[in-house]
Structure 1
Amino acid sequence: MIVVGPSVIGTPSAEAGTVEFGMALLRQRFSFVVDEIHQRRRFMTPAQSRAACGLVDWSQTELARASNLSESTVRDFEKGRRVPSVNNLAAIKRALEDAGVIFQDDGAMIDGGPGVRLKR
């Protein structure tokens, strides 16, 4: 029997299935969230965004304006504080691509991770 204060929650055998099911749901949800964050990071990294802004000589304010997002969204992403939604990442990437930036995936160059360059 599990006792919390003066009340009885139930016997371990009766609650075990419910607890195991709840833990399985939590693990599944956590795994989904981690996978989604990794997918977003593969879309574009904060370092790529900062480097791309440097290539086109844009401030965070200019990038926010060009991507039609708040400056705090851009700032928090570039500082690694949070990962924006896929739609917001797409808006940032599209604005930078329209300005002449080309995004390179991890391994696209001989010795490097993800990067950026200007169109010729």
Structure 2
Amino acid sequence: MKFVFQFARIVGFCLLGEILATVLPLPIPASVYGLLLMVAALRLGLLRLEQVRETGLFLTGIFPLLFVPAASGVMELGSQMMEVIVPVLIAIVPITALVMAVTGCVAQHCTTGREVQRHE
């Protein structure tokens, strides 16, 4: 039952993100609003990490599985993708490297001077 309540809290923040994306005229995805709201609630103490930890760890554990439908859709359109493979690779490879580099720099900046905590 604990997982149901934790999942409900996470879904609640997703719903609030959807509402903000509908109301605000900014080009920001609802999922980003939801994540920002959850981070703000955690930082302000409105939500404790223990209230979402187990379900969050479960969801991040099955994260690759959530991409299976998208990957199967790409596989289905493989013949059409072959026509534009060179421009796609030219766009994807440098952007992926850039995202990885920026993410690494941000992660290093966030953990500098702090001991990395591991939750098992």
Q: Please state which band the TM-score falls in when normalised by the shorter chain.
A: under 0.3
Q: Normalized against structure 2, the TM-score is what?
A: 0.24
The answer to which structure has the higher strand fraction is 1
